[in-house]
Amino acid sequence: MQQSAWEIFLNTLEKTFYTQLPVILACFFLLYILIHHLRKEKLSYLFLIYTISCILLFMGINIQSIFFPATGKANTVIGETANTFFAIIELFVFIAFFLQIIESRTSKKFLFLFSGGFVVAIILFFAKVLNVSTSRDDIMQASIAVNILEFLTFLIAILSYFIELFTKPPTQNLTKSPAFWISSGLFIYILASLPLLIFSEYIWVESKKSYFLLFSFHYASLTLLFLTIAKAFLCRKPITT
């Protein structure tokens, strides 16, 4: 008997141990914190846009999969295009954040270099999406390349920040530093997600259970990221402090 779209959706949630749900809850919690602690900083509005875009991504994809289900290549195009637009917003927000907290000009040049590679990957992704002869696997690979370049850019930014932070004499309590909370949450998010991206094709072929388990770690780390951003805004200090 063929499963309904709702049953397929619930089955997908079960495979990832329902870790999508904490992500959505953490998103709404962060949205609440941002609205109640919004500051007259450009970064505050950027993080607000980032949070709303994440809610739209998860809610939109779930609504589409239940009420407007697509199959085959169409399903891949919808899902990966939504993820790519979210990646664009995510990169822009965090690069704007790190450019304000990193002092090294060399590190900033590397950020711009990798961001340029990210832009090239975006162009190649949409070129494949618009090419009717492109297969689902090619679109998936192009989407994964976008995310890998995005996360490598973040990794350079985070390591640059931590190197600068711990090579200087301590001047503040890190538990009260918004920049430290955001960078730490993003670092854990990258560490949990990057291996899944790099080895996704191999893991999917070898063990689908392992694939979904790693995906649950990805969702858990994204939940943690939203909570650390919320904590940063609760510190009641400028975000770049």
Residues in the chain: 241
Closest CA relative to residue 199, chosen from 148, 238, 129: 148
Is this structure's pTM higher than 0.85? yes
Residue 136 belongs to some domain of the structure: yes
Residue 190 belongs to some domain of the structure: yes
Looking at residue 2, what is its pLDDT?
60
- For residue 78 the two structure tokens come to 């919808």
Average pLDDT, the chain: 91
What pLDDT digit, counting tens, does each position of 57-88 carry?
Answer: 999 998 888 888 888 899 999 999 999 999 99
Residue 240 belongs to some domain of the structure: no
What pLDDT digit, counting tens, does each position of 4-58 carry?
Answer: 767 777 888 888 899 999 999 999 999 999 999 887 788 999 999 999 999 999 9
Residue 239 belongs to some domain of the structure: no
Query: Which residues, 6+ apart, have CB-to-CB distance to 41 below 8 Å?
Result: 238, 239
CATH code of the domain in which 125 resides: 1.20.1070
Question: In the block, which residue shows the tokens 């995906």?
Answer: 215
Closest CA relative to residue 144, chosen from 171, 176, 110, 118: 118
Looking at residue 91, what is its pLDDT?
97
Torsion of CA 104, 106, 107, 112, to 10 degrees: 130
Residue 185 belongs to some domain of the structure: yes
Whole-angstrom distance, CA of residue 165 vs CA of residue 88: 27
**Burial letters for 78-88: b for 16+ Cβ neighbours within 10 Å, e otherwise?**
bbbebbbebbb
Closest CA relative to residue 71, chosen from 126, 8, 144, 149: 8
Residue 174 belongs to some domain of the structure: yes
Closest CA relative to residue 138, chosen from 12, 82, 130: 130
Quote the domain boundaries for residue 141. Answer: 5-234
Residue 27 belongs to some domain of the structure: yes
Residue 241 belongs to some domain of the structure: no
Domain count for the chain, please give it.
Answer: 1
